[in-house]
Amino acid sequence: MPQAPLISLRGITKIFGEGEAQFQALKGVDLDIASGDFVAVMGPSGSGKSTMMNILGCLDVPSGGRFLFKGRDVGMLNRDQRALLRRRYLGFVFQGYNLLARTSALENVELPLIYQGETRETRRTLAMAALEKVGLAAWAGHSPAELSGGQQQRVAIARAIVTNPELLLADEPTGNLDTERSMEIMRLLTDLNQTNGITILMVTHEPEMAQFARQIIHFRDGLVERIERTPERASEPAS
C-alpha cells in the first residue's frame, strides 16, 4: 500500500480583502509532497508561492479547500493546535536569518527548545549537536555580528533543525548570500535532506539553487503551472 503524502493540498484558495479591493492569491491549488522530498518553489512576484508557504507553515489559513498534514485536516485545527503543529513538526529558515543580535549562536539555536519547555541542560546539548551538524560548533559563543552572512544562515538552519522537524520551510535561504556561500548553504540543505531525511520545501528566485531540489514546482497566477523533475544529483548541480 503506497505511503500517504506528508502534505496534500486539494482545491486550496486564498482571498485577501473585500469588494473591489479583493484579490485571489491562490485559485485552487492541488499538490502532494512526499515525506523525504526536496522541493523548490519558483514563480514571479504575485504568483502565490509565498501565500502557499504561509499556509503550509500554518502561519495563515486558506479561504477554501483541504490541507492535510500527515493525514490530518489542518483546517479542523484551532489556532493553538496549529501553533503546536508548528512547534512539533516544522522548522523555518528565512532570507534575513532573523537571529537575535545580542545573544550567542548557541542561545539563538536554543530558542525553539525554550518554547518546548526543555531544561537548560537539554537545550545546551541539543543546540550544540545542531551547531555541530552545520559545522559551527566552534562558533557557539559568537554573536551574529561576529559571523559572516553564510555563518549566520547556518546558525538559522541549526535553529530550524534543533527540534528535529519533519518539514523544513526555507524562504529564499540564499537570497542575501554570494554564490560561494549560497552553494555552501545548498549543500548543507541537501545533506540534511539525504542524511537526516528532513523534507525540504524551499522558495527561491534562483534557478541554479532550485536545481539542488528533486522537483521544482512552478507557480503562476495563483496556480501550479507545472512540476519539473530535476536530474539526479550528488551534492550539487552540474556546471
Start-end of H helices in 37-119: 49-56, 79-89, 105-115
Identify the pLDDT of residue 96: 87
What are the φ/ψ torsions at residue 196 (nearest 5 degrees)? -100, -10
**In the β-sheet with 64-69, what is the strand arrangement from edge to edge?**
23-33, 7-16, 64-69, 72-73
Q: Please give the CATH topology (third level) of the domain spanning 7-229.
A: Rossmann fold (3.40.50)
Identify the pLDDT of residue 198: 95
If one counts every other C-beta atom within 10 angstroms of the C-beta of residue 134, the result is 25
Give all strands (DSSP E) within the chain, no chain letters: 7-16, 23-33, 38-42, 64-69, 72-73, 90-94, 167-171, 199-203, 215-220, 223-229
Identify the pLDDT of residue 235: 42
The set of long-range contacts for 111-115, using a CB threshold of 8 Å and a minimum separation of 24, is: 111/159, 112/87, 112/159, 112/162, 112/163, 113/162, 113/163, 115/87
Residue 50 vs residues 9, 41, 87, 198: alpha-carbon distances, Å: 15, 9, 20, 21
Identify the pLDDT of residue 228: 94
Q: Report domain extents, the chain.
A: 7-229
Identify the pLDDT of residue 116: 86
Identify the pLDDT of residue 86: 92
Identify the pLDDT of residue 1: 55
Residue 96 vs residues 59, 119, 171, 184: alpha-carbon distances, Å: 18, 29, 9, 17
pLDDT digits (tens, 9 = 90+) for 31-75: 999 999 999 999 999 999 999 999 999 999 999 999 999 999 999
Question: What parts of the chain have a pLDDT lower than 50?
Answer: 234-239
pLDDT digits (tens, 9 = 90+) for 80-91: 999 999 989 999
Identify the pLDDT of residue 3: 76
Identify the pLDDT of residue 100: 93
Q: How far apart are CA 99 and CA 112, in angstroms?
A: 12
Identify the pLDDT of residue 94: 87
